[in-house]
Amino acid sequence: MAKPSAYLRQVQQVPETMQVVSEPPTTFVLDTNVLRFNPNSIFDYGQRAVDRVFLASPVVRELDEGKKGRSKDASQIRAVNRLVASIVIGKNAGNGVSLAEASDGKALGSLVVSKQLANLSASATSDEQTCWIANDLVAKEKRLNRRVVLVTNDNNMVAKASPYGLLVELFTPNKIEHERDERVRSGFYDLPQDFWALNDGTMIERDMKGLKVHEVDLLPGILLNTVVHGLWSDRKIESTVTEIRSHAGRMILRQNINYRVRLHSVSGLLALNPEQNAQMNHCMDPNMDLVFVVGPAGCGKSLLAVACGLHQRYMDERYDRIVFMRADGESEIGFLTGDEREKILPTVLALQDNLGVIERLLPHQRLWSGPKTVEELLAAIDLPDAGFADGRSLQKTYLVLDEAHKWPLNRLLMLLSRAGPDTKVIVCAQVGLGNNLSDLRRIIEAFAGLEHAAIVRLTDSSPRSWIAAQVNRLFPGDF
């Protein structure tokens, strides 16, 4: 876990009395919005043993009051509450609790949960009370040569802190997540230029169902199901690591199917670049149970995921049903009229757009026997709200979790745990554009290198339009 100062110091211009500081030792007072956006900010700001993270009583009250309901905000706040509870349970949080155990030693500071009340009128807002408590804390911490810094992403909070002369740090999630996106695994490995020459005398080659399989020397740090790229005698090689024999220092590479040619079209679609080809290989592989697909807006991740599901449902008859869940559909829908599907439909317009693309390309798909119009295709896909998945087991199902970056960790884990026998799960998430990938990144890292799981990161080399490409290029992380 990187030190916040390495990536978290984009500062708003404020008066000299409110100069933003990051010098230790420091007590960071976090506001509710910072915690809601990223619960792990507790660890981010508590990296060093001399630093403390301080939760004022108004913040604790807001977390308690906001945990009810099925909205995205409520889910995020519940995630914060669970994290805080796991850190302080059975300990005196008023005096400070070490973060080392909860963070596996990556954060050495402490967390303080305060019960102090602000000496203000009953009409004072939570922000005003937090600022008062932070200011009162300044005098106490000064005796310990410790600074107090209020951390917020709310400009109104900055204004309320101004009369106190508090040191303020402006939390900038867009910048954080854009830079953290670069640390999401790509799922690719570029082979050294001399790789094939070095393996010339020891490589074992064979054919398997029309695909080349190579046994070669193991590369350092490479993981199972990584896609390797390279040149061999001026011929481009795209293969997947299907087996690692650590004891022998060897690995098995299986040639990827070329989904960029019409012969291998999927629901009429072709891959447009090596990244899309890798996604289609993973999604079409019957031995791959879990596939993470991340990339910028418009790179085709959801379209390809759905196309692969339709092909395996109606051409290969590998699955009994396709289930599509989109995080946007988890908002409060109970008050809407109609049954579950009728409530969800307005939230999956992007899916209907993708099905429109598939409808236009299906005439190019040989021997297609499934639904052909957008209406028929949409009717063939189950569209439950994520909340309706509680307690269910999805068997022989092709499950697409779209916009997965918008789900908190507990919801993602619950959805993944619904996968029953013969079920494949495709997790699509959008990087950049200010999205919070901390929870999803944690899951990806846990599954990285496991036998039936793969990760592929798409680029914007094949965006939905020239405009979309320029937006991703010119304004990364700005909205």
* pLDDT, position 179: 46
Q: Which of 440, 402, 265 is nearest to 322 (CA)?
A: 402
pLDDT above 80 for 362: yes
Q: How many CB atoms lie within 10 A of CB 121?
A: 7
Q: Where are the alpha helices (DSSP H) in 124-249?
A: 126-142, 155-161, 173-181, 195-198
Domain ranges of the chain: 4-171, 188-255, 272-474
- pLDDT tens digits, one per residue of 173-216: 544 444 455 567 889 999 988 898 899 889 999 999 889 999 99
Q: What are phi and psi of 44, to 5 degrees?
A: -60, -40
pLDDT, mean of residues 347-360: 86
pLDDT, mean of residues 378-395: 81
**Per-residue confidence band for 339, with pLDDT thresholds at 50, 70 and 90:** low
Dig out the tokens for 129 from the structure.
Answer: 């009370």
What percent of the chain is predicted at pLDDT more than 70? Answer: 82
Q: What does DSSP say about strands 110-113 and 52-55: parallel, antiparallel, or unpaired? A: parallel
* pLDDT, position 167: 92
Overall fold of domain 4-171: Rossmann fold (3.40.50)
pTM of the full structure? 0.65
Mean pLDDT, the chain, integer: 84
* Stronger pLDDT, 326 or 473, i.e. the higher one: 326
**Per-residue confidence band for 337, with pLDDT thresholds at 50, 70 and 90:** low
Fold match, 4-171 / 272-474: yes
pLDDT above 60 for 334: no
- HSE (CB half, 13 Å, CA atoms) of 406? 17
What percent of the chain is predicted at pLDDT more than 90? Answer: 48
CB contact at 8 A, 199 and 187: no
* pLDDT, position 464: 63
* pLDDT, position 467: 75
pLDDT, mean of residues 37-49: 86
Which has the minimum average pLDDT: 70-79, 107-116, 209-218?
70-79
- pLDDT tens digits, one per residue of 263-277: 999 999 999 999 999
- pLDDT tens digits, one per residue of 275-313: 999 999 999 999 999 999 998 888 899 999 999 999 999
- pLDDT tens digits, one per residue of 118-137: 998 888 999 999 999 999 99
* pLDDT, position 17: 38
Going by CATH, does the domain composed of 272-474 fall within 3.40.50.300? Answer: yes
